[in-house]
Amino acid sequence: MKSRIANAFLLAVLALSAAFLGGDHLLANQGGSSGYTSLGDLSGPGAVYEFKELKGFDQVQLTFSDMLPSADNADLIMEMSKDGGATWERTHYNTGGTAVNPKGGTISLPADIDAAAAHLYWAMDNTAGARNAGQLDFLSLQSPLSYKPFHGWCIGFYQADHQAWPAFINGYLRLTAPINGIRLRYVDHNNNAKALTIIQGKASLDGIRK
């Protein structure tokens, strides 16, 4: 009974996220003829998931799933690069959003204001059955006149207590230089300077429009 409820909840979350992002944004992962161009697929353990070549795409979509950090109390963060991953921007990320409380209602996410990274999820467990997944769309990555906006969703699954916490995220990097690198990694919640590793997971990046 609990598994059926959890499955129904997950389907509702995915339907809501599709409506939020736009009807065609999930086609990249459904084998449809969406015209998306693969910019890379990553999986397995590692320090980070890095995509260092955007091939001039101005709009891209990042999808990730089954991600597990190497320790409890882990924040999942996203960073961008303007030099193909030689360095990663460590200032001026601005994000906010809303999470759905599985016990009812919504809560506002902690805001990043000119922060060192964009937080996608806070204080994730590394226990069996706990996973992160999500999808982000990035816009105006090649424009020298625009900041770099992104929007999407991230969810934390907790199989042990049959809960999931989906969050809807909006933000931008306050930088006008073209972007050609995007990465995901985990850091310690209480000390973001302390890097954690990815035990398992999958991530893919698709180019949508140049």
Torsions phi, psi of 115, nearest 5?
Answer: -85, 170
- Pairwise pLDDT comparison (20 vs 163), residue with the higher score: 163
Provide the residue range defining the domain that includes 146: 2-209
* Mean of pLDDT over the chain: 87
pLDDT-based confidence at residue 131 (cuts at 50, 70, 90):
very high
Residue 129: its pLDDT value, please? Answer: 87
Counted domains in the chain? 1
Phi, psi of 192 (to 5 degrees): -65, -15
Residue 39 has pLDDT above 90, yes or no: yes
pLDDT value at position 13? 38
Give me the mean pLDDT over the 71-95 stretch.
Answer: 97
Running DSSP on this structure, what letter comes out for residue 11?
A: H
| Sign of torsion over alpha carbons 109, 185, 142, 60 | negative
CA dihedral 26, 29, 33, 39 (to 10 degrees): 110
Average pLDDT over residues 82-104: 96
pLDDT at 8: 38
Question: Cα dist. 150→32, 156, 179 in Å?
Answer: 23, 19, 12
- Structure tokens, 140: 């105006």
What are the two backbone dihedrals, phi and then psi, of residue 112, each rounded to the nearest 5 degrees? -95, 125
3-class DSSP state of 97? strand
At 162 the pLDDT is 86
Judged against a pLDDT cut of 50, whether residue 40 lies above it is answered with: yes
Q: Residue 147 pLDDT > 70, yes or no?
A: yes
For 2-16, 75-89, 183-197, which range has the lowest pLDDT when averaged over its residues? 2-16
Residue 151 CB coordination number (10 Å): 18
Query: In sequence order, which residues have a C-beta less than 8 Å from that of residue 35 and are 6 or more positions away?
Result: 208
- pTM to 2 decimal places: 0.83
Give the strand order in the sheet containing 49-51.
Answer: 49-51, 181-188, 74-81, 118-124
DSSP state of 207: E
pLDDT grade for 177, boundaries at 50, 70 and 90: very high
Once rounded to an integer, what is the mean pLDDT over residues 113-128? 95
